[in-house]
Amino acid sequence: MGSSTTRISAPAARPESDLPTSIAAKCSVGDLSREPTAHTIARMQLSEYQRLSRRTAEYPRDAWLAYPSLGLAGEAGEVADHAKKAIRDDGGTVTDERRLAISKELGDVLWYVAQLASELGLELEEIARANLEKLSSRQQRGVLSGSGDER
Ligand SMILES: [Mg+2]
C-alpha cells in the first residue's frame, strides 16, 4: 500500500427541508383499494416500513436472530465497500452513480434493521426516538464525542 492518502470531500449536511419527501416518485396508477405498498404511499412512517417489510422477510425461522444479524453486517459492509471504491476509483469523490448505489445499500441495511427489530419485538419508531434522545442528551451534557455506550 502506498503512503499517499486521499481525503473524501464531505458535502455540507443537507437541511431537513432539502431531503426527499417522496419515496415513490415513480408511482404509477395502482389499485387503491389494496393495502398501500412502498409504491403507492408518498410518505412512510418507520412503523409502516417495518410492517410492510415483513412481507418479504423470508428466511429460516430457526435462524431468526442470526440471519438478519448477518445480513445487516453484510449490507453495512457493502456500504463500506462503496466508500472504499470511491477512494480507490473516484479520487475520493462520490459520483451520482455511487450515491444511488449507496442509497440502495442503505435500504438493504434498513431492511435488516427492521427485521431484527421485528424479531426482537421492538418498534423502529421507538428505536429511532430513543436514539435521538440519547444523542441529544449527550450533546447537552457535552459528551457527544467520546466512547462508551453509557455516557
Ligand atoms: Mg445490498
For ligand 1, the distance from its centroid to the CA atom of residue 132, given in whole angstroms, is 26
**What are the structural domains, with CATH classification, of the chain?**
63-140 (1.10.287)
Q: What is the pLDDT of residues 4-40, one digit of tens each?
A: 444 555 556 655 555 444 433 333 334 445 566 666 6
Residue 68 has pLDDT above 50, yes or no: yes
For ligand 1, the distance from its centroid to the CA atom of residue 60, given in whole angstroms, is 19
For ligand 1, the distance from its centroid to the CA atom of residue 78, given in whole angstroms, is 6
Q: What is d(CA 151, CA 148) in angstroms, rounded to the nearest whole number?
A: 6
Identify the DSSP state of 63: G
Q: What does the pLDDT read at residue 32? A: 42
Q: What does the pLDDT read at residue 150? A: 82
For ligand 1, the distance from its centroid to the CA atom of residue 88, given in whole angstroms, is 20
For ligand 1, the distance from its centroid to the CA atom of residue 85, given in whole angstroms, is 15
For ligand 1, the distance from its centroid to the CA atom of residue 75, given in whole angstroms, is 5
Least confident interval from 68-72, 79-83, 97-101, 146-150:
146-150
Q: What is the pLDDT of residues 30-59, one digit of tens each?
A: 444 556 666 666 788 999 999 999 999 999
Contacts of 125 (CB under 8 A, 6+ apart): 45, 46, 47, 50
For ligand 1, the distance from its centroid to the CA atom of residue 101, given in whole angstroms, is 9
- Banded pLDDT at 151 (limits 50, 70, 90): confident
For ligand 1, the distance from its centroid to the CA atom of residue 91, given in whole angstroms, is 23
Q: What is d(CA 47, CA 43) in angstroms, rounded to the nearest whole number?
A: 12
Q: Which string of b and e fits 63-79 if b means at least 16 CB within 10 Å?
A: ebeebbeebbeebbeeb
Tell me the average pLDDT across 81-103: 98
Q: What does the pLDDT read at residue 19? A: 47
Q: What is d(CA 76, CA 101) in angstroms, rounded to the nearest whole number?
A: 13
Residue 87 has pLDDT above 70, yes or no: yes
For ligand 1, the distance from its centroid to the CA atom of residue 143, given in whole angstroms, is 33
| Higher-confidence position of 20 and 70 | 70
